[in-house]
Amino acid sequence: MIDKPSAAALAPTLLIDSDHPDVIAFAHLNARGTTERERAVSLYYAVRDGFRYDPYLIDISPTGMRASRVLETRVGWCVTKAALLTAAARAAGIPARVGYADVRNHLSTERMRQMMQTDLFIWHGYSELWLDGTWVKATPAFNIELCERFGLLPLDWDGRADSLYHPCDREGRRHMEYVHQRGSFYDMPLAQMVADFAATYPRRRATETPEASFDADVDRETR
């Protein structure tokens, strides 16, 4: 049975702040097309490529996790970029929610491996948009420039089929695999995420260096 959207799929929340003026303006500018699906796809690419992916700049406070924060800083990571796509879709009148899964990421930087002490990325975020009578998944995390530098195939989305991470990179090396689905939510379950991050990555705060540059690390390790 298809889980039809409730009114919450169009409602703003503290973190999926689709009523924020900047989110509304972003949606108005980028939801282009004559059909809901076309507008959703247009929003997907605007979020995917319009904001740099940076997993070093993670602020898990309520302020740092809001969808509108990505518009302010012009950077995000999988959770916040999915929040922005979800918020923008709601602002454009498209029912949307966020989804999460635990994934194994086989391509990361040495700094991230030292910090995490695992290749398991918990609470990896994506969006689900209600299009043509069904939920369709979309993952807008990796901008196209980063994909090219990392040797990854950019993740396209047509609004019809689910768009999740490719299992392999351009060379056929394993990139990412989903190991546990956490489900779909109308709002970001931030309290649970914070608790799980603390339990899974106890070294995260101790090994963070504010001056670290994800772009510099990628450039050095992908030469």
DSSP for the chain reads ------GGGG---SSS-TTSHHHHHHHHHH--SSSHHHHHHHHHHHHHHHSEE-TT----SHHHHSHHHHHHHSEE-HHHHHHHHHHHHHHTT--EEEEEEEEEES---HHHHHHHSSSEEEEEEEEEEEETTEEEEE---S-HHHHHHHT-------SSS-B---SB-TTS-B-EEEEEEEEEESS--HHHHHHHHHHH-TTHHHH--TT--HHHHHHHHT-
Q: Which pLDDT score is estimated for 110? A: 78
Sheet holding 96-105, edge to edge: 134-138, 120-131, 96-105, 176-185
Q: What does the pLDDT read at residue 209?
A: 57
Residue 58 has pLDDT above 70, yes or no: yes
Q: What is the pLDDT of residues 68-98, one digit of tens each?
A: 999 999 999 999 999 999 999 999 999 999 9
Checking if the pLDDT of 43 tops 90, the result is yes
Q: What's the whole-model pTM score?
A: 0.92
- pLDDT of 208 above 60: no
* Long-range Cβ contacts of 55-64 (<8 Å, 24+ apart): 55/112, 55/214, 56/111, 56/112, 56/212, 56/213, 56/214, 57/214, 60/190, 60/193, 60/194, 60/197, 62/14, 62/15, 62/190
Structural domains in the chain, sorted by start: 7-221 (3.10.620.30)
pLDDT band at residue 62, thresholds of 50, 70 and 90?
A: very high
The residue-averaged pLDDT of 21-36 equals: 98
Residue 152 has a pLDDT of 79
For residue 102, give the nearest of 82, 81, 83, 126 by alpha carbon: 126
**Residue 50 pLDDT class (50, 70, 90 cuts):** very high
What is the per-residue pLDDT for 13?
Answer: 98
For residue 136, pLDDT over 80 is answered with yes
Average pLDDT over all residues of the chain? 89
Task: Decide if pLDDT at 151 tops 90.
Answer: no
In this prediction, residue 155 has a pLDDT band, given cuts at 50, 70 and 90, of confident
What integer pLDDT is reported at residue 183 of this predicted model? 94
d(Cα 150, Cα 164) in Å, to the nearest integer?
A: 17
Mean pLDDT across 154-159 = 92
- Residue 207: per-residue pLDDT: 44
Would you state the pLDDT for residue 107? Answer: 61
| pLDDT attached to residue 205 | 59
Give me the pLDDT at residue 161, please: 95
Q: Is the pLDDT of residue 206 over 50?
A: no
